[in-house]
Amino acid sequence: MNNQLFYTQTSSTAPEFDVIVIGSGIGGLVTATQLAAKGASVLVLERYIIPGGSAGYFDRNGYRFDVGASMIFGFGTQGTTNLLTRALAAVNVSVETIADPVQIHYHLPDGLDLKVHRNYEKFLQELTEHFPQEREGIRRFYDECWKVFNCLNAMDLLSLEEPGYLTRVFFQHPLACLGLVKYLPLNAGDIARRYISDPILLKFIDIECYCWSVVPADMTPMINAGMVFSDRHYGGINYPKGGVGQIAQKLVEGLEKAGGEIQYKARVSKILTENGQAVGVQLATGQVYRAKRIVSNATRWDTFEKLLPPEQMPRVEKKWQQRYQKSPSFLSLHLGVEADVLPWGTECHHIILSDWEQMEEPEGTIFVSIPTLLDPNLAPEGYHIMHVFTPNWIDDWQGMSAKDYEEKKQEAAERIIKRLEQFFPGLDTKLDYMEVGTPRTHRRFLGRDDGSYGPIPSRKLRGLLGMPFNRTSIPGLYCVGDSTFPGQGLNAVAFSGFACSHRIAVDLGL
């Protein structure tokens, strides 16, 4: 039997759903749960053995490690921007959270040492003590971030590709909409430089952006900065009890209760099209599933270069690839340490940088999270988890023997631990467990092209205007997650999930 015939027969008799979601990252799961709650038949296909993607976890020697970042936005109790709380509630589940009193403790060049307190005034006061001459500029910049946040936090957050919603929201909140229209093409650096002139303070604003957007303030969309710099004081940073993995586990529980299905170890190798329209997927095993709508939670590079034939890449996607590039991946040290290595009063999240010129370089900025300070149950008694990570490129880890790869990991870990000794004296001798992940690890376990953290602008762009929404130029195919508006971050991909499911629900007449 020739392949074409085989494919046609399998495809026409394949199980059919309303919606198939490729990948169970938080973006994919929010889309799936929202649609299942509206009565759609939904199938989620996940290549790994558990859900969550970058928000997954792994257990080793009594420790439960978060795969990705442990600093979670979107778990507030009020307003409309608490999208993780809302996504869980929509399918009648919830996650208990633990409030973090400090978002980040910064350890920056020339002794610039300060904390971003949950209390806004306390944070402004601490920052102003370092830059008294910029008292007014500091307040005006951060207050302007609140303006963005207040516009967003006043309205239901759904698909900007749905004219009915746009009309309704405009009549309900005309000023908030006009406010957002004003900020959509702006970057945080444009606003910061209106009010602030001290070069070191501007560098501080750069790292405030860099530590979540992986680009400096000039390249960071103001809408996203408004969300991050305000929500940390409004809803606050709240850690899910039991670890970040709980969010995905609970969403899956809600998905199944609402009648949706998820399959693990189900790697999609192809998106199937007929007459230019997406109609189904094929797994690596050859199994075919069909659906009225297909959603890809894989990155845009994976979607348009691997799941679809790269030579047929739509023109708009080629243009997008000129505007956005893959950000670096991370080198991650997952450590189990004796509890007494942490000085009294240690905060949960730290950013360490010793030379401003090195901020964007591999191993320049070091991120540290110690989630057991909030939830001690993630480690054996008397021990803590330290997740230490720093940007790193896949090219530095390719084409080497297994032995060289292991040695290189060990050397990198030693260099980083040496730097951390300044803040955690005796760390090296107090290590109980260490696992090192590289960009190759992220690529392998998360299925992300080059292990990338997500798309970043390849040059200065006009804020969020260049970021695509959920529909693609292939009818029937949608994207969700950090390759879509508004980009990286759990709360950001949760928004993308709300928007994607809303657009599909309207398209399917649900």
Ligand X SMILES: CC(C)=CCC/C(C)=C/C=C/C(C)=C/C=C/C(C)=C/C=C/C=C(C)/C=C/C=C(C)/C=C/C=C(\C)CCC=C(C)C
Residues lying near ligand NAD in the complex (CB under 6 A): 22-28, 45-48, 53-55, 68-69, 71-73, 267-268, 297-298, 302, 446-448, 453-454, 481-482, 488-490, 493
Q: How many CA atoms lie within 13 A of 276 on its CB side?
A: 6
How far apart are CB 177 and ligand NAD at their closest, in Å? 26
User: Nearest residue to ligand X, using CB?
Assistant: 489
Is residue 500 at the binding interface for ligand X, with CB under 6 A as the rule?
no
Among the listed residues 102, 205, 228, 352, the single contact to ligand X using CB under 6 A:
228
Q: For ligand X, give the closer residue by CB, 47 or 64.
A: 64
Question: Which token pair is 477?
Answer: 């195919």
**Interaction mask 39-78, ligand X, x per CB under 6 A:** ------------------------------x-x-x-----
- Quick check: 201 and 133 in contact, CB under 8 A? no
Quick one: which of 48, 76, 52, 74 has its CA closest to 64?
52
To which residue do tokens 């709300």 refer? Answer: 498
From the number of C-beta atoms within 10 Å of its C-beta (0-12, 13-18, 19+), residue 344 rates as: exposed
Q: Is 180 in the site for ligand X (CB under 6 A)?
A: yes
Q: Residue 23 binds which entry of ligand X, ligand NAD, none, with Cβ cut-offs from 5 to 8 Å by kind?
A: ligand NAD
Q: What are phi and psi of 5, to 5 degrees?
A: -65, -45
131 binds ligand X (CB under 6 A): no
User: Pick from ligand NAD, ligand X, none: which does 331 bind, CB < 5 to 8 A by kind?
Assistant: none
Output 28 or 137, the one with its CB closest to ligand X.
28
Binding site partner of 378, from ligand NAD, ligand X, none, Cβ cut-off 5-8 A by kind? none
Q: Is 170 in the site for ligand X (CB under 6 A)?
A: yes
Nearer to ligand X by C-beta: 153 or 472? 153
**3-state SS assignment for residue 244:** coil
Three-state DSSP at 348 gives coil
Q: Which amino acid is at 398?
A: Q
- Candidates 444, 307, 354; CA nearest to 110 is 354
440 Cβ contact list (under 8 Å, min separation 6):
394, 397, 398, 405, 451
**Whole-number minimum distance, CB 263 to ligand X, in Å?**
28
From ligand NAD, ligand X, none, which one binds at residue 177 (CB under 5 to 8 Å depending on kind)?
ligand X
Chain positions 83 to 122 lying near ligand X, rule: CB under 6 A, are 104
What is the token pair recorded at 298? 């894989």
Touching ligand X, residues 305-324 (CB under 6 A):
none
**Within 345-364, which residues bind ligand X (CB under 6 A)?**
349-351
Which of 482, 495, 492 minimizes the C-alpha distance to 324? 482
Are 446 and 54 in contact, with CB atoms under 8 Å apart?
Answer: yes
Q: Which is nearer to ligand X, 273 or 488 (CB)?
A: 488
Q: How many helices (H) and strands (E) does the chain have?
A: 16, 20
Interatomic CA distance for residues 109 and 349, integer angstroms: 17
Stretch of residues binding ligand X (CB under 6 A), selected from 187-195, 336-344, 402-410, 480-488: 480-488
The binding site for ligand X (CB under 6 A) comprises 69, 71, 73, 104, 152, 157, 160, 166, 169-170, 177, 180-181, 211-212, 223-224, 227-228, 349-351, 367-369, 486-489, 491-492, 495
